[in-house]
Amino acid sequence: MLFNSYGFIFAFLPLALAAFFLLGRYSQSAAALWLVGVSLYFYGHWNPIYVPLLAGSIAFNYLFGYGIAKADTKGSDRLKFFLTAFSICANLALLGYFKYANFFIDSIDWAAGTSFSMGKIVLPLGISFFTFTQIAFLVDTARGLVKEYDFIHYALFVTYFPHLIAGPVLHHKEMMPQFAKKETYEFNHGNMAVGLAIFSIGLFKKTVLADGIAYYVGPAFYAASHGGNPGMGEAWIGALCYAFQIYFDFSGYSDMAIGLSRMFGITLPLNFNSPYKSVNIIEFWRRWHMTLSRFLRDYLYIPLGGNRKGKGRRYFNLLATMLLGGLWHGAGWTYIIWGGLHGLYLVINHGWHALRREFGQDPTVPLSGAMRILSVFSTFLAVTVAWVFFRSDNVGGALVMLKAMFGMAGLHAGGISRGAVNWIWILLLVSWLAPNTQQIMRSFSPALDYREEGDSSLAWQPDRRWLAAHVALAVFGVISISKVSEFIYFQF
């Protein structure tokens, strides 16, 4: 089931909300259990066969988490270490089988000329998200940071449908206290208004902006991966259109998830904050998929040593983290190269900052107007180049695209659509100049730990002017649902 579908908007969501708040009048546990049930239904609507897998994963990790906590209270460090290591390895083995088994077998076959086969393994939706969420829970339990072990709340923490399929990657300390609050289960007009407003913005971004430009993405990438020779202009059009498709697709999903959750009285962490406004790659990863960046930092980069063991080790840790981050996004060499490129970008960015400090400059000082424009533009181009690998069907197709983009396959323009050019200019201006959803909604705490920023003249208020604007966005968003259009991050 998709957020951008008639069944979800006009049937599933109203029923889920009505029953949740009705049950909440009498029993918080019953309301929470209802939300677990509808979340499992939401997940199973895609493929019911994987609901037992999700349920089994929840039961397994809860029991091991509880066992780790008990071992910790008894001072049994060896047992705690064994339970933690075994449970994490079990989670990684499950993820590895479903997500990476075919990739590794295919890579071995390609390198060794063999013909091993495991058959086609269908990837369960959201397995990366609910696996990483639970690994964080296990690690923090071993660290003594988990304070609550209510099974219903834990099951809701993992299955909660606004985040289950494509994030954000949740942290138990952010969510469990909200599930325990009495106010969460009481209908609140303010939460409903804010949630609907944010959801309508996200729906418009997905169905009108992202899906609108998606039409122009395929031709160049398809030609490059299937023996064609896209021209320089055609290749740049394809790459730029994809850069904006994935931007507004993920931005739209993130808004819709936050808005849906707010309707239930629960505030999610911010996961997307105008990353194309970044002046460098370091800032980009503080704005793009923010909760994944946080997870990789806290549970991979820092345990590897972070920046505590010298520059060389720091740069190695950055590269390793981003390579694994690329592999997390998909089982393919294109994703690994994409992650490696961003790792290289980060190494260069941190190295440049270190060099500036040696010459007495402070990299944290805000840039002048012209330098800021140049920095944002160059960062955007670097990100767009990396997106070519992310989108391409294979490495060969990505290289064909890049050769065309940089004139190495001739300077012919190829087929350029005026419609695509118009879309690019519109979305470029929107992504660079327009306030984002959080800035518009900043007076109403749209996300956890969000710091107010932006021009107050566009601050949202529950008045007729804003009501008319959101009704228009919702109408355009709904009538643009012409077919099933999955979110790009659903495949991860």
Residue 308 belongs to some domain of the structure? no
| Calpha distance 420→413 (Å, rounded) | 14
pLDDT in tens, the chain (492 residues): 899 999 999 999 999 999 999 999 999 999 999 999 999 999 999 889 999 999 999 999 999 999 999 998 888 889 999 999 999 999 999 999 988 888 888 777 777 777 776 667 778 888 998 999 999 999 999 998 888 889 999 999 999 999 988 889 998 889 999 999 999 999 999 999 999 999 999 999 999 999 999 999 988 899 898 888 888 999 999 999 999 999 999 999 999 999 999 999 999 999 999 999 999 999 999 999 999 999 999 999 999 888 888 888 999 999 999 999 999 998 899 999 999 999 999 999 999 999 989 988 888 888 888 999 999 999 999 999 999 999 999 999 999 999 999 988 777 666 778 889 999 999 999 999 999 999 999 989 999 877 766 555 688 988 899 999 999 999 999 999 877 678 888 777
Peptide linkage before 48 cis (omega within 30 of 0): no
- The sign one gets for the Cα dihedral 40, 46, 48, 54 is negative
Residues contacting 403, CB < 8 A, separation 6+: 409
Which among 153, 171, 289, 329 is annotated as catalytic? 329
Domain boundary among 156, 186, 216: 186
| Calpha distance 59→238 (Å, rounded) | 45
**35 and 179 in a common domain:** yes
| Calpha distance 211→184 (Å, rounded) | 34
Residue with tokens 């990438």: 221
Residue 5 belongs to some domain of the structure? no
Kindly state the tokens that stand for 460.
């949202």
- pLDDT, residue 117, reads 67
**177 and 195 in a common domain:** no
Is residue 7 within 8 A of residue 1, CB to CB? The reply is: yes
- pLDDT, residue 335, reads 95
Residue 49 CB: number of other CB atoms within 10 A? Answer: 10
**215 and 170 in a common domain:** no
**177 and 203 in a common domain:** no
Residue type, 9: I
- pLDDT, residue 73, reads 84
Q: Tell me the H-state helices in 151-276.
A: 151-159, 161-164, 172-180, 189-204, 211-214, 218-225, 232-263
Residue 212 belongs to some domain of the structure? yes
Residue 244 belongs to some domain of the structure? yes
Is residue 215 within 8 A of residue 237, CB to CB? The reply is: no
Domain boundary among 123, 158, 186: 186
**153 and 243 in a common domain:** no
Bridge partners for 429 per DSSP: none
Domain boundary among 171, 186, 201: 186
Residue 114 region by backbone torsions, left for phi larger than 0, else alpha for psi between -120 and 50, else beta: beta
Is residue 437 within 8 A of residue 274, CB to CB? The reply is: no
**201 and 90 in a common domain:** no
- pLDDT, residue 83, reads 95
**195 and 180 in a common domain:** no
- pLDDT, residue 407, reads 87
Q: Which pTM does this prediction carry?
A: 0.94
**374 and 249 in a common domain:** yes
**197 and 173 in a common domain:** no
Residues contacting 59, CB < 8 A, separation 6+: none
- pLDDT, residue 33, reads 97
Q: Is 329 a catalytic residue?
A: yes
Residue 43 belongs to some domain of the structure? yes
Residue with tokens 């961003």: 342
- pLDDT, residue 235, reads 93
Count how many domains the chain has: 2
| Calpha distance 202→205 (Å, rounded) | 5
Residue type, 84: T
**204 and 129 in a common domain:** no
Residue 108 belongs to some domain of the structure? yes
**220 and 71 in a common domain:** no
Residue 433 belongs to some domain of the structure? yes
Residue 15 belongs to some domain of the structure? no
**425 and 479 in a common domain:** yes
| Range of the structural domain that residue 160 is part of | 23-186
